[in-house]
A and B are shown apart, each in its own frame.
Chain A
Amino acid sequence: MNKFLLATLLLTATATQAAHHEMGHMHSPKSHLHDTMVDGQKLSVDAERFDNFVNAVLGDQIVVISVQGMVCDFCARGIEKTFGKDSTVTKIDVDLASGKVLLAFAPETEINRAGIKQNILNNGLNTVAIQFVGK
């Protein structure tokens, strides 16, 4: 009986999540802001995710942080919590799959690259790259 309950619970969770992820991979034919060239490099971010993020904070400065060691939700929550305390940050998005953290800052904000790296390090993770979009 116990084995049956465990198996049922597992199958339900797996099926629900699989359906959710299939929907998440559908791309909209909207704008292609993710193609923005930054520091001479092309951004490697989830296209739809990035476009949605930028469209929600039009006019703000966008920073894309590539992070090492971000393998679970607890890491991601720590990052979100840390930057959430920063009043100059207008929006945060953490993408576990690509190891990217997207931050939006108000247009007049002087962005502190060293401060961003330190905040990531304080969460036990490492910053590989910080890219500024549109600067």
Chain B
Amino acid sequence: MANSGAQSDNIYWHFTPNIKYSLGLDYQKDKISGEAFPSARLTYLINRKNTATSQRNLYVKTGFGLDSSDNHFYSLSGDWETRRLFGSFSAKQVSGIGYDLFEQRVKLGVAPYLGAYGDLHTWLMIESKKDDLDDKRITYPVLRFFKGGGLIEVGYHKKTDWDIHLMYRF
């Protein structure tokens, strides 16, 4: 998984031994402090609710710096999706990477068509986020495409510029 945004670029590899948790390594290049932060990450699934048409998840995530345990983050996040609709939130506290940061995100999406398995899937989304560094909420459109194991998500806001997210599942 790779992300490029206004505050940082990062690349993240993770392995999921079972559905309850995943372990990963993250390498983040912070654009504000100019420093690099390699870290180990853990994601734990607190709760999942499956229905015939939907799936809902609640996760806790944490990460610790490989070069300094002062660098760490923890977050609570959740998502709910059907084949047509998507909603997610996250609240994340980051510390020790040159500054402290509390960030909130909310994302809503709709699929304009329902693709079959293997088709190109498209989502029209809107994301809203707010953090301590700039105590002002920004909201911007996001396009998500995925096909097979690949996903690309592109968001744009005139203030923060491009926000790009790439993911591939093996």
Q: Do they bind each other?
A: yes
The 10 A-B residue pairs with the shortest CB-CB distance in the complex, in nearest-first order? A69-B50, A124-B19, A68-B50, A69-B55, A76-B117, A96-B117, A126-B50, A17-B113, A13-B122, A71-B55
Evaluate contact between B81 and A72: CB separation under 8 angstroms: yes
Evaluate contact between A99 and B143: CB separation under 8 angstroms: no
Q: Mark A79-109, 1 if CB is under 8 A from B, else 0.
A: 0000000000000001111010000000000
Evaluate contact between B116 and A96: CB separation under 8 angstroms: yes
B169 beta carbon closer than 8 Å to chain A? yes
Which residues of the other chain, A, contact B114 by a CB distance below 8 angstroms? 21, 97
Chain A's closest residue to B119 (CB) is A17
- In the assembled complex, the Cα of A13 lies from the Cα of B113 at a distance in Å of 10
Number of A-B contacts (CB under 8 A): 84
Evaluate contact between B83 and A69: CB separation under 8 angstroms: no
A-B contact pairs, 24 of them (CB 8 A): A9-B143, A14-B122, A20-B119, A21-B113, A24-B116, A68-B51, A69-B50, A69-B55, A71-B54, A71-B55, A71-B81, A72-B81, A72-B83, A72-B146, A73-B146, A74-B169, A77-B149, A94-B117, A96-B116, A97-B116, A122-B18, A122-B19, A124-B45, A125-B50
Interface residues of A toward B: which range?
Answer: 20 to 34
B166 beta carbon closer than 8 Å to chain A? no
B98 beta carbon closer than 8 Å to chain A? no
Secondary structure call for the B interface = loop
Secondary structure call for the A interface = helix
Which residues of the other chain, A, contact B18 by a CB distance below 8 angstroms? 122
Q: Mark B37-49, 1 if CB is under 8 A from A, else 0.
A: 0000000010010
* Min CB–CB distance A83 → chain B (angstroms): 14
* Min CB–CB distance A64 → chain B (angstroms): 15
A residues 19-47 in Cβ contact with B at 8 Å: 20-21, 24
* Min CB–CB distance A71 → chain B (angstroms): 5
B58 beta carbon closer than 8 Å to chain A? no
Chain B's closest residue to A126 (CB) is B50
Evaluate contact between B124 and A10: CB separation under 8 angstroms: yes
- Interface centre among A71, A76, A77, by most B CB within 10 Å? A71
- In the assembled complex, the Cα of A13 lies from the Cα of B143 at a distance in Å of 12
* Min CB–CB distance B103 → chain A (angstroms): 25
- Interface centre among B115, B124, B154, by most A CB within 10 Å? B115
Instruction: Knowing A71-B55, A74-B169, A99-B52, say if A14 contacts B113 (CB, 8 Å).
Output: yes
